[in-house]
Structure formats: structure tokens, C-alpha cells
Amino acid sequence: MFVEVLWLWAGLAAYAIATYYAFRSVAQYRDAATGMTSEIVSHSGEKRVLFFMMAGVVLLTICMIVRWLRIDHGPFVDLFELLISQLWSLGLIYAVSYWRFPLLRPTAVIVLPMLWIPGLWVLTLEVSSIPNPPTYFNDWKWAHVGFGKFFLAFCLIGTGLAGVIFARMHPYFARSFQFMPTDKVLDNYAWRFMLLALVFESLMLIAGAVWAQDAWGRYWAWDALETSAFLNWLLLGAAIHARFTYNISVRTGAILIVLVFVFAFITYFGIPFYSGAAHKGVI
Amino acid sequence: MVKNNVFYSLGSPRLAMVGMAALAIGAVLSYGNPDTVSIWVLILPLLFLAVNLLMAILTNPRIYKRHGLLLFHVGLLSIVILSAIGRLTHFEADVEMVRDTVFDSTEVLRAKAGIWHDGTLAEVQFQQGHYTVDYSPGLVRGKTKSYITVFDPSGVATQKIVGDDTPLVLEGYRFYTSFNKGFAPILTWQPADGGEPLTGAIPMPSYPLFEYKQDNQWAPPDSEQIDFWLRLDTGLTEDEAWTLDGRHAQGILVVKSGDQRVELRPGESTKLPGGVLVYEQLTTWLGYKIFYDPTLFWLFIASVLTVVGMTAHFWRKITLDIQDQVHYKQKKMRIQSAVPGSRERA
């Protein structure tokens, strides 16, 4: 067994503990709101969530460094390392947002379980390593990948807020999230993150086009990932257009946010299923 | 700016949504660049969106009165226009360069040019030198280094190394090394009737992709076809890292003409029906993809300005409102104080 797998397991274990405390923290608020507990409602649960999320990020960082040193390139080529990289960046950006914006904290019960999709997936994969293709030494790759990570993370945060709006439609969950601002305020926050997502997706597409021009002699070729990313950009653009131009309801807005995220998720994690490598045929 | 109901309708957000939906359909149909799908599935929605954008910019005060939003929409329109100009003026082709030869624009292959293309490919001058390609164990291709000599108009030569994501850019034409490369024996044909000798290279199939199939044919003028097979010694080892370097390769040329079969080493010759064939030396060839689009730089600028405009417009919405957070904290405080005994314990 490669050493990086142990660090991966450790990182995922930390995320699992963070998930447990996230649910416990929200349950505590629910019980407090209904008078079912006399325990002090404090921030300690949230602090534990943050601590274990950051611990997971640190452990996944070590996992990637160990792997990097072993195979002599970063996590850019095969699905195993792409999933670890996404778990790391989504965890890091969400943890920083969680720390910076207290309003987001209850969304951890929605966001962290979503991280378990790539988290469980990566455990089913064989530890492989593909040499870095010659076109992957280009500096624009870093910008492309970096912007893409922010795009997906902001979509994830927006979806976490949209998830709270949906959850509050059920009386049981409504109590869990009743201490959060109104749906209108959550909708406002969620769309702010979607605006950031559009900015970063646009930057991702531009950096990717410059990289593609340098690497493969064309800036756009309608490969699987390019087509999917462009459709995602159109969908996000249309959703923002609809949200800010028409008086759509909060729930319709939440549905649009989830749709955008699902499409982004498929673009990131579905296309590698389909094409085997991030940009098949051009690596 | 412009007050006209028709223009305003043409620039309506609803039509923008229709155009975006049509473009999405066009993008789906264009996946993989299928030959069966017309380019018009993209051109029509883009034309529609360009008109919509232009009308929206001219008639919608929510756009033209907001600098960020205006820059964003003008940027989008510029991208559409520049992309169109790019396609109309673009040029794409492949070329295979034999070592020590000078680029000749008449030898490009599979050329595709936009109807407005009026380039200066014929003015491009460079000489192909040797090249190296690194391979990891398992014959996984690594970096390519191609050594080029470029001549300026006064004839001064400059050495350059290009390869992979570092193209050779001359007169706006970008030459990208491709995975297509191999060996080429240089032969001289001396006709038996005392005619002018012919010297040229016979490119063999791509190497090491077709390592097992290094063969080709050639028919000298007024003579029978000659079959060639090249037996190479390049030091190729699949299990270890290896560098393809034509300077260190050796090849025996097997020549077959009619019933005659002969093996030649560089410098050797053989007499065949119709003339004498001389195997001068073994050399290499390297494939390049040629790309020309004069709008590339401006497309990049327009794209960046579009994002700048978008960010400037969104900034006010994105920056967090402190009041919302206060609201959140107040609610939490209320819950805490509602729990019996919480204050005492705290």
C-alpha cells in the first residue's frame, strides 16, 4: 500500500468527524429551539467542525505532497488524484468560508455529506499514476485549475444555502434551521456566491483557452470537458439573468442553484468517467 | 441612448434567454466537431445573441447607465465579433519537416483557411534541425525539443528550441510540434540513361508509433516501383526511460524491386532496373500543426475586460452586508437566552 493512501484515509476520517459534529451542532440548535434540552447552546460544536475540517485539509495536503514526491507531478492527470485534489480544495475553501461567515455554518450538514460523494468514490479507485503529459508543464494550467476550484467551491456553498431553503420546507428541519435568517436573506447570500462562481468560471474558461492554445494549438475544440464547462457557464449565466432580471421565487432560485451545481458536479466528476482523463485525446 | 420599441424588444432579456438556449443546443450538437453537423448551429445563435446584445446596450438604461454592466455586455459582443473575424481569417494546416530542410509553404498538408485569410505564410522562413523526444518507461511520450534556425529578412540566423506548449511563432503563424515524427532515408536516383540525378527523402511512418511498420514505396521516373523497409536501431527500450534522438539512430534500408532484394547501409548503392539507387544517409522528419488567427490577442483582452466589467458590476452585490450577520447573531442569542438555566451555567 502506498503511504499516500494512509494520509487519504486520515483526511477522510477527519472530514467524517467534522460531518458528525456538524449534524450534532444543528441538532443541538433544534433541541434548544424546541426546549427539549437544557444544555448550553454554544459555539463549541461549530469550532469542532472547523477544527476537523481544517485537520482534514492538512492531512489531504500531506497526502498530495507525499504522492507528488513519489510520482513527480501534481494532482492533475488521473481520476484518483483529481478526486483527492477536489476534496482538498473544496474542503479548504469551505472551511475558510465557514470560519469567515458564521451564517454559513449550519450549511455544513448539507455541504459535508456532498463531499462524501468524491470521498467514497476515491476509495473505490486503484492507486494509479500516469506520467505528466508534456503539455501539462504550462503555467496557465495552474490558473485554469485554480479558478476552477473556486468556481466549484462557490457553487457548493450556494447549494448549501439553497439546501437550507429546501430543508426548511419540512417542519422537522425547519426547527433545525430556524435560527438562521429568513429564506429571502439566505437566497440573497446564495446568489452572491453564485455571482462569484460565474466570475471564477469565466476566468477558468479564459485561462483554459490560453493553455489550450499553447498546448494543443487551438483555444477551443468542443471536447467533452470544454463542451460541458461551456454549457455550465451558459446555465449559470441564464440562472443569474433570471434571478436578477425577473422576480423569481426564492424556491425557484434555489432549484436553479442546485441545477447549476449538479451540472458543475457532472462536469468535474462525470466527464472523467466518460473520457478517462480530464481532456481526453489532448494530453 | 436609443428610444425605439422595436430595438428595445430586440434587446430584451427574454430574447437573450432564448439565444442562450439556442447556443446551448448548438454547443451540444457541436460536441466533438462532428462532420455531419453544420457550423450554422453555432453561427445562428451567436448572430442572434450579437444583435440582442447590441440592442440591449443601445436601448436598455439598466445596461448603458452602469459602467460595469456596460463593459461586460460590450466585452461579450466583442468576443462574438472577434471570434467571427477569427474564423473568417484563420488558417490551419499540417507540415512535415525533414531535418536540414527549409520550410516551404507549398508543401503544407490538409490546409483549411477562412475566406478572408490573406496571410503571409510564403514569407515564413526557418530551417529544421534535429529534435529529441523523451519517453518514460512504458513508452509514454514526454517533452519534445525541436531545434530550429530562424532567418530574419536580412538573412541573420537565430537558433530556437520549440516543442509541445512552446510554438514557433513567425509572421503570426504558430507552428506546434506534433506527436507525428519519424525517420527518412535520403536517397539519390541516378537514371541509367544519364539523366539528371534525383535526391530526396522517403519519409517512413511515424516512430515509435509504427515501429513495426517502417516501410514505404517510391517509383522513379519511367521505372518500376521500389519497396523500402527500414530496419532501425534507435536504442528503444519500453521498460526504461528513453530519448528518441535521430542523431544516434542507425538504419539498414531493405530495398525490393521486382525479384531483387538488397540491404543497404548509408553510403551504399545498388543497381536496379532503370538506374542506380544510392542510400546517402538516414535523417529524421517532424510534423507540425500550423495555426493562424490574428484575433487571438484581442480575444484575450476582450475576455479579460468582460470579466472585469462583470466583477465591477457584481461587486456591490457580492460584498457582504454586515446587518445580515448581526441578524444571525441576534437570533442565536435569543435561542441561548431561551434555554432554561443557560445563563446561570454560562
Supply the DSSP string of B216-246, one letter for each residue: EEE--TTS--EEEEEEEE----TTS-EEEEG
Mean of the per-residue pLDDT values of chain B = 89
Give which of B51, B34, B286 is closest to B26, Cα–Cα: B34
Mutate to test the interface with B, among A28, A141, A204, A245 (most CBs of B within 10 A): A245
Amino acid at A192: R
Q: What string of DSSP letters covers B159-176?
A: EEEEBTTB-EEETTEEEE
Contacts of A230 in chain B (CB under 8 A): 27
Contact B130, B284 (CB under 8 A): yes
Crossing angle between the packed helical segments A3-33 and A79-100, to the nearest 10 degrees: 40
The reported pLDDT for the residue numbered A177 is 86
pLDDT at residue B9 in the model: 86
Query: Crossing angle for the helix pair B322-338 and A183-216, nearest 10 degrees?
Result: 130
pLDDT digits (tens, 9 = 90+) for A233-276: 999 999 999 998 888 999 999 999 999 999 999 998 887 666 65
Strand partners, B260: B257
Integer Cα distance of B323 and B310 in angstroms: 25
Q: What whole-number distance in Å separates Cα of residue A161 and Cα of residue A182?
A: 11
A62 C-beta neighbours (distance < 10 Å), count: 16
| Nearest residue to B7 (alpha-carbon basis) of B52, B55, B67 | B55
Domain boundaries, chain A: 1-132, 133-283
Low-confidence ranges of chain B (pLDDT < 70): 1-4, 320-346
Q: Which helix (H) or strand (E) holds A140?
A: helix A139-167
pLDDT for position B337:
46
Instruction: For A80-123, write each residue's pLDDT tens digit.
Output: 999 999 999 999 999 999 999 888 999 999 999 999 999 999 99
- For chain B, positions 320-339, list CB contacts with chain A under 8 A: 320-321, 324-325, 327-329, 331-332, 334-336, 338-339
The interface predicted TM-score of the complex, written ipTM, equals: 0.88
Distance CA A263, CA A233 (A): 10
B328: nearest CB among A41, A102, A133? A102
Is 90 exceeded by the pLDDT of residue A42?
Answer: no
Which residues, listed in sequence order, are joined to residue B185 by a DSSP beta bridge?
B282
Which three three-digit cell numbers place residue B215?
516501410
Total count of residues recorded for chain B:
346
Query: Is residue B336 within 8 Å of B342, Cβ to Cβ?
Result: yes
- Residue B121, all three cell numbers: 505564410
Q: Which residue has the higher pLDDT, B31 or A54?
A: A54
User: Which chain A residue has its CA at the smallest distance from B142's CA?
Assistant: A134
Question: Are B328 and A130 a contacting pair at CB < 8 A?
Answer: no
Per-residue model confidence (pLDDT) at position A128: 82
Average pLDDT over residues A157-169: 95
Q: What's residue B162's pLDDT?
A: 96
**Helix pair angle (B296-318, B67-89), 10° resolution:** 160
Peptide bond into B208 cis (omega under 30): yes
Which residues, including other chains, have CB under 8 Å from residue B300's CB and lie 6 or more apart?
A: A206, A210
Q: Looking at beta carbons, which residues of chain A come within 8 Å of B11?
A: none
pLDDT of residue B155: 82
- Which residues of chain A lie closer than 8 angstroms to B166, CB-CB? 214
CB within 8 Å of B310: residues ≥ 6 apart: A198, A199, A202, B68, B72
The 10s digit of each residue's pLDDT in A200-230 is 999 999 999 999 999 999 999 888 889 999 9
Amino acid letter for position A266: I
| For chain A, percent of residues with pLDDT exceeding 70 | 91
**A157-170 burial string, b = 16+ CB within 10 Å, else e?**
bbbbbbbbbbbbee
Dihedral of CA A29/A35/A38/A40: which sign? positive
Predicted pLDDT at B244: 94
Q: What is the mean pLDDT of residues A168-195?
A: 88
Kindly state the average pLDDT of the residues A16-39.
Answer: 79
pLDDT of residue A272: 65
Q: How far is CA A238 from CA A145, A217, B10, in A?
A: 24, 30, 17
Hey, which residues 232-291 in chain B have their CB within 8 Å of chain A?
A: 289, 291
Chain centre distance of CA B205? 22
Four-CA torsion B242, B248, B249, B251, nearest 10 degrees:
-160
Query: Between the CA of residue A273 and those of A79, A224, A267, what are the distances in Å?
Result: 8, 11, 10
Q: Is the pLDDT of residue A37 over 70?
A: no
Answer yes or no: do B318 and A195 touch at CB < 8 A: yes
Question: Sorting pLDDT into bands at 50, 70 and 90, what band is A68?
Answer: very high
- Sort strands B109-113 and B91-98 into parallel, antiparallel or unpaired: antiparallel
Contact B93, B103 (CB under 8 A): no
CA atoms of A136 and A119, how far apart (whole Å):
25
> From CA B286, how far away is CA B132, in angstroms rounded?
10
Distance separating alpha carbons of residues A24 and A30, to the nearest angstrom: 10
Question: Cβ distance A194 to A158 under 8 Å?
Answer: yes
**Separation in Å, CA of A256 to nearest CA in chain B:** 14
Q: Write out chain B residues lying below 8 Å of A213, CB-based.
A: 291, 296
Q: Kindly report the pTM of this predicted structure.
A: 0.89
Write B61-65 long-range contacts (CB < 8 A, 24+): B64/B1
